[in-house]
Structure 1
Amino acid sequence: MKNQVRTTFTDRRQDAMEAKKKLLEKMKAAPKADDPEVVARRAEREAVAKAREIRHAERARLKLEEEARKAAQEAADAEAAYAAEHAERLAREEEEKARAERAVADMAAMKEKRDRRYAARKAR
């Protein structure tokens, strides 16, 4: 609702001046920068900010350590996987080599058997 009693320009101007005076009085009554209470609050805020910075630095350090640990673990896992794959590949190669040697030996045995048969046939 509108204030029907004080609606003129001078009334509004006077209300504004009173509001400014109250604000100025409030600012004058505010504690000064060298007031012990203000100094204590500022020191407390600075201590809290410093503690926050320390916690932040600690979290960052722990995060870096965790990342380094994970990287080392991944490298170790990759190395173990490579070693297992290498060992498996060597075992496969040895098996293939042994199989090839058996095949050569079998072919030599078959040839020797065949040659004996031919020799026996010629001897008859």
Structure 2
Amino acid sequence: MGQFKANQLVDRLEAAAKARQATVARFRSRPSADDPIVLARQSARRAVIHAREVRINEREAARFAAEAQREAEALAEREQQEAERARQAAEKVVRQAALAAEQKAARDARFAARKARARR
């Protein structure tokens, strides 16, 4: 079994103390909030955030416009189909009326022919 070396503990404690001092020194050397570099960095961040929000809003507007366009096209298609159905229904009514008139004319002709035969 090896001997306990006390200076290893001291070395670790000194290293930890130096690390703490370096952290404190880094914290103290940080620029203040009113430093021009910090202000420039903040304004650059704000510009990036604003540009991102603008792009998001543009995408949403484009999506809403495309959705509205699809809905308008679907509505126009439904209206066109309804108009076509109405036209077909009107044509059917006209055909039925013409057929009924033709059948009535044929019936009247048969009736007139029967009357003419009976008079002879």
TM-score range, shorter chain: 0.7 to 0.9
1:15 alignment partner in structure 2? 15
Worse-superposed segment, 66-75 or 103-112:
66-75
Alignment of 1:102-117 (within 5 A): 102-117=102-117
Aligned pairs, number: 117
Say whether residues 1:100 and 2:97 are aligned partners.
no
Give the 3 Å change call, closer, same or farther, for CA 106–6 of structure 1 in structure 2. farther
Give the 3 Å change call, closer, same or farther, for CA 97–62 of structure 1 in structure 2. same
2:46 alignment partner in structure 1? 46
The separation in 1 between residues aligned to 2:30 and 2:47, in whole angstroms, is 24
Q: Which runs of no fewer than 5 residues in structure 1 stay unpaired?
A: none
The separation in 2 between residues aligned to 1:94 and 1:16, in whole angstroms, is 101
| DSSP 3-state at the match of 1:34 | coil
1:24 alignment partner in structure 2? 24
Alignment of 1:56-75 (within 5 A): 56-75=56-75
Give the 3 Å change call, closer, same or farther, for CA 71–7 of structure 1 in structure 2. farther
1:91 alignment partner in structure 2? 91
The separation in 1 between residues aligned to 2:19 and 2:104, in whole angstroms, is 111
